[in-house]
């Protein structure tokens, strides 16, 4: 059997995405049934970027599955001193059973998967954040059940989160609308992948500069920080350029009557979202954060544990 990597949601079939969502639900409902599923296995967690949710959810998830997780910052391993990714991948493959990497360059995660002989999970790159998107679509399926024909709207910077949501939407039968100002729109290559998947699924990918057009009829309204990690020096310009894309109560009112608000966190209240929305009745941001744990346990069971979906 070839290695089961999760580098991008676009690498997964519709059936695999559905299977991972079902498995996440089973793991969440009955965690005790899986507490020895990865007994004796170890996950190497490579962190170039710091994290709260990614580190804690993967580390706790491995423990809850009976395995062990090793936190490896670039200060702890030779990557920080220039060891080739290919060497790191091959060495870690001799020691551990899986790698989760949270890096800047997407090519680094691709190289780990290419050169290692164990499963590699993308914990975030500058291009993509597939684990978060999987948790998001699991959250949506919990709330709405069948997602076919529903719409998710994303507002703000066309970043790694926008890319992964856009690639994931057709896999679950959802339309997606992304509203970003000129200069902040999603990358063409990911838009092309998403549109190809949408054509096969019979769904829509809408790219616009108009926030109200994006949220019209949407079941979920999603945003992310306006300045991501590594963009701090651009913060003032980004806040000014993206100010018209803040999610407030008026924008939520333009969505569907049963619409929810989602955010991958950390949230900057008063910037990309108002406190009234982030902490309001429509917000599901903490359910969403919890579901990182369950979705990632499902991903590890599938990739490292060989579970059939």
pLDDT of residue 83: 84
Q: Are residues 44 and 187 in the same domain?
A: no
Q: Is residue 116 part of a domain?
A: yes
Q: Are residues 84 and 139 in the same domain?
A: no
Q: Is residue 308 part of a domain?
A: no
Active site residue 136: no
Which residues make beta-bridge pairs with 166?
none
Q: Is residue 165 part of a domain?
A: yes
Note whether 1 and 276 are within 8 A (CB): no
Q: Is residue 2 part of a domain?
A: no
Catalytic residue among 175, 224, 246, 294: 224
Q: Which of 154, 180, 156 has the alpha carbon at shortest distance from 167?
A: 154
Using CB atoms within 10 Å of the CB of residue 177, give its burial: 0 to 12 exposed, 13 to 18 middle, 19+ buried. buried
- What's the domain count of the chain? 2
Catalytic residue among 129, 150, 151, 284: 129
Residue 165: give its domain's CATH number: 3.40.50.1370
Active site residue 185: no
Q: Are residues 148 and 68 in the same domain?
A: no
Q: Are residues 143 and 84 in the same domain?
A: no
Provide the H-helix boundaries in 8-158.
Answer: 14-29, 53-64, 85-95, 106-115, 130-144
Active site residue 53: no
Q: Are residues 143 and 125 in the same domain?
A: no
Active site residue 238: no
pLDDT of residue 236: 85
Q: Are residues 147 and 250 in the same domain?
A: yes
Q: Are residues 45 and 166 in the same domain?
A: no
- Calpha distance 154→180 (Å, rounded): 9
Q: Are residues 189 and 274 in the same domain?
A: yes
pLDDT of residue 288: 98
Catalytic residue among 4, 102, 106, 263: 102
Q: Is residue 263 part of a domain?
A: yes
Q: Is residue 62 part of a domain?
A: yes
- Calpha distance 45→68 (Å, rounded): 10
Q: Are residues 222 and 112 in the same domain?
A: no
**Tens digits of per-residue pLDDT, 112-166?**
999 999 999 999 999 999 999 999 999 999 999 999 999 999 999 999 999 999 9
Residue spans of the chain under pLDDT 50: none
pLDDT of residue 219: 98
pTM, rounded to two decimals: 0.96
pLDDT of residue 191: 98
Q: Are residues 125 and 274 in the same domain?
A: no
Active site residue 131: no
pLDDT of residue 229: 61
pLDDT of residue 231: 63
- Calpha distance 88→72 (Å, rounded): 12
pLDDT of residue 1: 57
Q: What residues make up the domain containing 279?
A: 132-289
Q: Are residues 146 and 107 in the same domain?
A: no
Q: Is residue 227 part of a domain?
A: yes
Tell me if residue 175 falls in helix, strand or coil.
Answer: strand
Q: Is residue 309 part of a domain?
A: no
Q: Are residues 283 and 142 in the same domain?
A: yes
Active site residue 195: no
pLDDT of residue 305: 97
Catalytic residue among 264, 282, 294, 296: 264
Note whether 76 and 100 are within 8 A (CB): no
Catalytic residue among 5, 108, 127, 132: 132
């Amino acid at each position: 059997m070839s290695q089961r990597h999760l580098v991008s949601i676009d690498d997964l079939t519709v059936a695999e995405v559905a299977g991972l969502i079902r498995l996440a639900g089973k793991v969440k409902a009955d965690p005790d049934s899986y507490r020895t599923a990865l007994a004796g296995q170890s996950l190497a967690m490579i962190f170039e970027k710091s994290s709260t949710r990614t580190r804690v959810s993967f580390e706790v998830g491995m423990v809850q599955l009976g395995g062990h997780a090793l936190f490896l910052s670039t200060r702890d391993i030779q990557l920080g001193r220039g060891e080739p990714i290919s060497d790191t991948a091959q060495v870690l493959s001799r020691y551990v059973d899986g790698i989760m990497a949270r890096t800047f360059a997407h090519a680094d995660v691709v190289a780990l998967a290419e050169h290692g002989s164990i499963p590699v999970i993308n914990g975030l790159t500058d291009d993509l954040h597939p684990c978060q998107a999987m948790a998001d679509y699991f959250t949506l399926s919990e709330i709405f059940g069948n997602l076919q024909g529903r719409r998710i709207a994303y507002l703000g910077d066309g970043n790694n989160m926008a890319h992964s949501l856009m690639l994931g939407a057709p896999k679950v039968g959802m339309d997606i609308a992304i509203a970003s100002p000129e200069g902040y729109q999603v990358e063409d290559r990911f838009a092309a992948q998403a549109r190809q998947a949408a054509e096969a699924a019979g769904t829509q990918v809408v790219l616009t500069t108009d926030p109200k057009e994006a949220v019209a009829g949407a079941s979920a309204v999603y945003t992310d920080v306006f300045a991501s990690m590594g963009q701090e020096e651009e913060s003032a310009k980004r806040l000014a350029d993206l100010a018209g894309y803040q999610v407030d109560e008026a924008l939520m009112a333009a969505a569907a009557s049963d619409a929810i608000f989602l955010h991958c966190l950390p949230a900057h209240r008063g910037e990309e979202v108002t406190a009234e929305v982030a902490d309001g009745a429509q917000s599901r941001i903490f359910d969403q954060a919890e579901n990182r744990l369950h979705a990632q346990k499902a991903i590890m069971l599938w990739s490292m544990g060989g579970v059939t979906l």
